[in-house]
Amino acid sequence: MRESYLRLIGAATAAYGLAVAVRPELLARPSGLVDRIGQVAPETATSLRPLAWRDAANGLAMALAPNRSALKAATALRIASDFGDAVLLAATLPERRHRIGAVAVSVAWGALSVAALASRPPADAARVPTPPPPVTGP
């Protein structure tokens, strides 16, 4: 498991989630969930914000996980969310081009997390340095 990669993925996910919570059009436009002039309906914005907060919370959980077990659990939730999003968006987005793009992005992020979770750390990172012997009196 590459902890640093997973934490970076978490931080990026949290940042994106927060950005979409503030500006839902960041997700609505590439998903085709806008009107003819590119505006996001208030109902659409309301529907997208919980997903954005989910991503922000899950990303923060990955970035700030206090130990490997917590990081693995947060990553598993991230992977499930990404692949779940891919299935949901493939079935519901209005246009084929938007479905293809949204599925590709969701699967790519999920696969990135899977790869970081499944990969081995570099050999140097696996070694724990031996602490120096304690200093004793004169």
19-41 pLDDT per residue, tens: 999 999 999 999 999 999 989 99
Q: Which helix (H) or strand (E) holds 35?
A: none
CA distance 81 to 55: 8
Predicted local distance difference test score (pLDDT) of residue 138: 63
Question: What are the tens digits of pLDDT across the range 82-100?
Answer: 999 999 999 999 899 999 9
C-alpha angle 108-45-110 in degrees, rounded to nearest 5: 15
Q: Give tens-digit pLDDT for 110-138.
A: 999 999 999 987 766 555 566 776 777 66
Query: Region 39-58: what's the mean pLDDT?
Result: 97
Predicted confidence at residue 118, as pLDDT, reads: 94
Q: Say what the pTM is.
A: 0.82
Q: How many whole angstroms separate alpha carbon 111 and alpha carbon 118?
A: 10
Question: What mean pLDDT is predicted for residues 9-13?
Answer: 97
